[in-house]
Structure 1
């Protein structure tokens, strides 16, 4: 099971994943990117870059998808008008940032040698991150865990429920992935703090 550590000499954050683990991380990040981009306005190719940067015509209402609602909570729950304006000016950039972080995870794994087809059983992927890239991975892990928790209905102090599910229950398997990403997140925080 991959875990992040800090290399003593280079001070880079490193992890070693099996091919399956690396492919799972890539898949989770790809699904997050797809969710974020399908629900947002895609910039036109012919749009002036300055105009695109200054475009504050983002969404004004809370997303219908519970995962997106969790990733982009209402800033002013008691004030619908202020919440709407805040969302209009910020959600587009927040979506872009979250999608870019997930793309960084994908790109890093592919640069580390993750092949398109994982046919070798013993394939290992070594990931080496500088501090800014490690922090980007950390943000993406947070988003992936929020997305999984929303889809699964994970609540505080519900560990007994998840432990009671049979191993072959798809919800138990998905929860195992949620827990594994949490473990990776925890080891990454620890490596960054050293």
Structure 2
């Protein structure tokens, strides 16, 4: 059964083959989602021209959607990168322009760390290095955020409604997976906080 455990000060992850395949696919899909909105890093070589670099820092950045009307924004992007200034679209756009690329890069790096750990899983178990735990917590949370949009979960009421979907509704299975991710997050937190 999937879970995190603590043994002799080490955090261990246990997954069966089906869980490993499903979870690996989910993290890869999260990476695809984050990469689709990532800002291209390739830039012209300006040599030592500080004005060109300064001008570029104020240019538009493709992939950041804060200039789009609310009804055209991707709802998953909206949930993962919420507006810092919901009542001030101009300030929100400026804030996103200077922060969202770095936030995306950090989320991508965290997801890649998780994939590396999953790749080292042998016999259903792998060790999670202490400096990887934060990446795991954030990636599990990001997967739940993305699924919450698909499931229409925004509060306790909508969470309860999502849980009541009939088995023939395809989203019923997604809700089960959403719950599994929450259980994994809780399991990791409990393992981290367990006494030595």
Same fold (TM over 0.5): yes
Corresponding residue of 1:61: 66
How far apart, in 2, do the equivalents of 1:78 and 1:163 lie? Answer: 32
What is the alpha-carbon root mean square deviation over aligned residues?
2.4
Q: What's the TM-score once normalised by structure 1's chain length?
A: 0.82
Q: Note if contact 2:152-2:162 (Cα within 8 Å) is conserved in structure 1.
A: no
How far apart, in 2, do the equivalents of 1:177 and 1:100 lie? Answer: 23
Q: Deviations over 1:75-94 (max 9, x none)?
A: 01122222111101100000
How far apart, in 2, do the equivalents of 1:62 and 1:134 lie? Answer: 35
Q: What's the TM-score once normalised by structure 2's chain length?
A: 0.81
How far apart, in 2, do the equivalents of 1:112 and 1:106 lie? Answer: 10
Structure 1 gap segments, 5+ residues each: 114-123
How far apart, in 2, do the equivalents of 1:186 and 1:62 lie? Answer: 36
Corresponding residue of 1:98: 107
How far apart, in 2, do the equivalents of 1:23 and 1:60 lie? Answer: 32
Structure 2 gap segments, 5+ residues each: none
Q: Deviations over 1:86-105 (max 9, x none)?
A: 10110000001111111111
- The alpha-carbon distance between structure 1 residues 148 and 79, as it changes in their structure 2 partners (threshold 3 A), is same
Q: Note if contact 1:2-1:18 (Cα within 8 Å) is conserved in structure 2.
A: yes
- The alpha-carbon distance between structure 1 residues 35 and 176, as it changes in their structure 2 partners (threshold 3 A), is same
SS in 2 for 1:128: strand
Q: How far 1:160 sits from its partner (Å)?
A: 4.2
Corresponding residue of 1:41: 39
How far apart, in 2, do the equivalents of 1:82 and 1:162 lie? Answer: 34
Larger Rg: 2
Corresponding residue of 2:124: 125
Aligned residue pairs total 179
- The alpha-carbon distance between structure 1 residues 83 and 45, as it changes in their structure 2 partners (threshold 3 A), is closer
- The alpha-carbon distance between structure 1 residues 45 and 111, as it changes in their structure 2 partners (threshold 3 A), is farther
Q: Does 1:15 align with 2:13?
A: yes
Corresponding residue of 2:133: 134
